[in-house]
């Protein structure tokens, strides 16, 4: 399926779940690896806020792309954020969704508030 780049310049993205290893197989505990580089993958939880609407999403990031200084509730930047639709059959049930992936997760600043005075 096609990968769709996500434009984030007008969004506020807040970290809601700290980075943790992405598990490929829950029964064995095997950690997911990037298919090309072989690098371990991590998942984070964020709230994505844009134009007055918000969504909680999980984002996969390579382990080397997880920056120091991340804090829960703080704004983050997700360079290279892309969305990829997926579908599969599990136990006879058709499932589908959107997988999100970014090149990195880095600390960011809160956007300036319009009309705020110093």
Tens of pLDDT along 39-48?
999 999 999 9
pLDDT digits (tens, 9 = 90+) for 28-63: 989 999 989 999 999 999 999 999 999 999 999 999
Neighbours of 69 (CB within 10 A): 7
- Measured from the Cβ of residue 17, the count of other Cβ atoms closer than 10 Å reads 14
Q: What percent of the chain has pLDDT over 70?
A: 93
Contacts of 21 by beta carbon, 8 Å cutoff, 6+ apart: 31, 32, 40, 41, 42, 43, 63
pTM of the prediction?
A: 0.86
Backbone angles phi, psi at 63, to 5 degrees: -55, -40
């Amino acid at each position: 399926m096609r990968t769709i780049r996500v434009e984030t310049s007008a969004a506020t993205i807040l970290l809601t779940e700290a980075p943790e290893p992405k598990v490929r197989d829950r029964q064995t505990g095997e950690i997911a690896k990037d298919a090309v580089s072989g690098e371990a993958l991590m998942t984070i939880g964020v709230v994505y806020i844009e134009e007055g609407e918000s969504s909680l999403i999980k984002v996969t990031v390579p382990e080397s792309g997880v920056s120091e200084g991340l804090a829960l509730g703080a704004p983050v930047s997700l360079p290279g954020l892309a969305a990829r639709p997926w579908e599969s059959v599990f136990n006879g049930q058709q499932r589908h969704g959107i997988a999100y992936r970014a090149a990195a997760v880095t600390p960011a600043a809160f956007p300036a508030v319009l009309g705020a005075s110093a």
